[in-house]
Structure 1
Amino acid sequence: MKKLFFIISLILFNLNQAKTINDSLFSPNNFHDEILFNECDACGCAAGNGSSGFESLLNPQFIGIKYFAQHYKAKENLFVNDLTQDQYFNTIQLWAKIPLTQKLGVYASLPFHFHEKKTLQGDISINGIGDFNLMGIYKLINSKDNTHELNGGVGVKVTLGKFDEKGISGVNPSFQLGTGSWDYQAVLNYRFQKNKLAVLLNTDYTLKTENKKHYQFGNQWNYSATGFYQILSNDRIIFSGKAGFQGEFYDRNKQFDEVLPNTAGSALYGKLGFEASYKKLSLGTELMLPTYSNLAGGDIEAKSRFSIFLNFGI
């Protein structure tokens, strides 16, 4: 299954709600691209960072709600070699994309986390509001025939989620509601579209700062490529399938400016899903499985991710 995900990982596409014109997937007069952005809803290295990808989708500007679930395996303690501890990171997120001008838009998201890990001493759970994300997105290039488009964005993550200093002593220091720090983000994506197929390539980087507890999560680089293909379209309904991949790299964490071992890592996921729209409503879901996982020096293994969202066009 993992090999299948990797082989069919195509490159990416973006849809809008407009009617098909001349067998084209988009209406050039109405299209407004949505940027792909991998958020760090929880924080830190690997597990719990919440990099689900921002792909919104059939409505060009929207408000909506999204559920995102992650599953990891971790070492229970220093005396156990097997990855036996299940860790579940769950997020319900309010998000929105609002245009300010023809080229400039604002993206914002506010997550609520409820995380759980199963230890030999019993289950441990935390829940509460996460860090607020705010980003400006600017259309840098847009060809006359709307075939090529390049977008760039910069943003900030506002520290609203609680950071628990006790949590950094575990195998996964990212078992947190927030980083406790103001972090800064930059993103760049390119889109090519032709008829019913389009491709979108994305890369983004998050610069993380030291929090009040003198702890600093490692910087994070994400890249992704996903393909969407229109399967069904009429005056009111659009339905598309998607496949792709997403990769993530994490630098080492620091405390009192000292580098911490076994906190860096990387992972690569394959993903499949679908998206559909009816009038101003759009629904999408995605399943991600790892093709490669090397997190926290091998102490953490990525297992799966799942997301589903419902958006309302504005």
Structure 2
Amino acid sequence: MKKLISISVLTLFAINCSLACDICGGGLGNTYTGLLPNFNKRFIGIRYHFNQLYTQLDIHGNRTAISNKEKYNTVELWGAWNVGSRWRVMAIVPYSQIQKYSYGSSEKNQKSGLGDLNISGLYNLINKSSNSFRQSLWVGIGVKLPVGTYNKNEYSNTNSPNIYQLGTGSTDFTTSINYDIRYNNLGLNTNMSYKINTENKDDYLYGNKLTVSGSIYYNTVISESITLRPNVGLMHETQEKDHTMGYKIDGTGGYNTNINMGIEANIKNIALGFTYQKPTKQEISQGRTQLINKFLTHITFTF
């Protein structure tokens, strides 16, 4: 029990010290996965993300006649396959619809299409379990392939981040760590990922991004075939400034902190989940972008 408490405290300390945050979260690669469904070999499912934000605010963070409200709807096909007892392969294929409204008018721009393909491989470094205690540690690397459309004409120096895009136009790389620990029915799940971006063919380089999340959950067994896992936690993300032609771009990068609340349900071989994210602190694009809220839901089949 002392070992469990020590590991939990150290993990929470690492999360709070990292001060990562969520940047915009448009069609450019949402790295938040939430609690993965319980599965032994493989799963496949559909996830849906929704988030909205204001851009082109004035220097005091107020909305003006040139401000925009942007909405992002993303449907993802996602799946994972365990290879042997230690290896796991995961893939996410997104399809996004982006809507941009001019604040105070009915003018609307819209685009939709495939986003960038994410593929990752993970290794199970720690896997221990007993009647009352479980812990696992997965480490992984991944690649994001430029499948989504990137339109260089969408970007101009408007004090607005270059997020009205379906893809980045670049091949990017991620590293990740997932640690889960549970004593009886009370558990702690933590995730950390670092995304390394490369410059696309139009000489635009998105800033690297660090994401850290931690959730406390309670495993509630309703029956032999039904299990619920309500959870609450924090997600932090920080992103460096973008660059173009080798020059740093003002009005990009920043940080955000979200509180996450959700529930996961397993009904035989069907997993259902819902997560709501509310920003609690943010400083994005030098205060000229404001996140509003997000939610994520999924239906997944384990087999």
Normalization by structure 1: what TM-score?
0.82
Corresponding residue of 2:6:
none
Residue aligned with 1:133, SS: strand
Corresponding residue of 1:141:
126
CA contact (8 A) 1:110 1:133 kept: yes
Q: CA distance change for structure 1 residues 223 and 238 in 2, over 3 Å: closer, same or farther? A: same
CA contact (8 A) 1:196 1:230 kept: yes
Size of the alignment, in residue pairs?
A: 274
1:170-209 matches, within 5 Å, as: 170=158, 171-209=160-198
Is 1:132–2:114 an aligned residue pair?
A: no
Corresponding residue of 2:153:
166
Structure 2: which amino acid aligns with 1:277? N
Corresponding residue of 2:71:
88
Corresponding residue of 1:272:
261
Corresponding residue of 1:36:
none
Matches of 2:285 and 2:59 in 1, distance apart? 13
Q: Which runs of 4 or more aligned residues in structure 1 lie more than 6 Å from their structure 2 counterparts after TM superposition?
A: 77-80
Is 1:239–2:224 an aligned residue pair?
A: no
1:55 maps to which of 32, 35, 39 = 35
Matches of 1:11 and 1:231 in 2, distance apart? 26
Corresponding residue of 2:208:
219
Displacement of 1:275 after TM fit? 1.2
Corresponding residue of 1:69:
50
Q: CA distance change for structure 1 residues 243 and 79 in 2, over 3 Å: closer, same or farther? A: closer
Matches of 1:248 and 1:80 in 2, distance apart? 20
Corresponding residue of 1:109:
92
Displacement of 1:166 after TM fit? 1.7
Structure 1: which amino acid aligns with 2:76? Q
Matches of 2:239 and 2:265 in 1, distance apart? 33
CA contact (8 A) 2:23 2:237 kept: no
Displacement of 1:99 after TM fit? 0.7
How large is the RMSD of aligned CA atoms in angstroms?
Answer: 2.3
Structure 2: gaps (5+ residues): 1-8, 12-21
Is 1:253–2:242 an aligned residue pair?
A: yes
Normalization by structure 2: what TM-score?
0.84
CA contact (8 A) 2:212 2:236 kept: yes
Corresponding residue of 1:154:
141
CA contact (8 A) 1:52 1:68 kept: no
CA contact (8 A) 1:65 1:94 kept: yes
Structure 1: gaps (5+ residues): 1-9, 13-43
Structure 2: which amino acid aligns with 1:167? E
Residue aligned with 2:155, SS: helix
Residue aligned with 2:45, SS: strand
Q: Percent identity?
A: 25
Matches of 2:245 and 2:264 in 1, distance apart? 45
Q: CA distance change for structure 1 residues 47 and 295 in 2, over 3 Å: closer, same or farther? A: farther
Deviations 1:158-213 (A, max 9, x none): 11000011222251311110000000000012221111111122211000000010
Matches of 1:54 and 1:124 in 2, distance apart? 31
Displacement of 1:273 after TM fit? 1.1
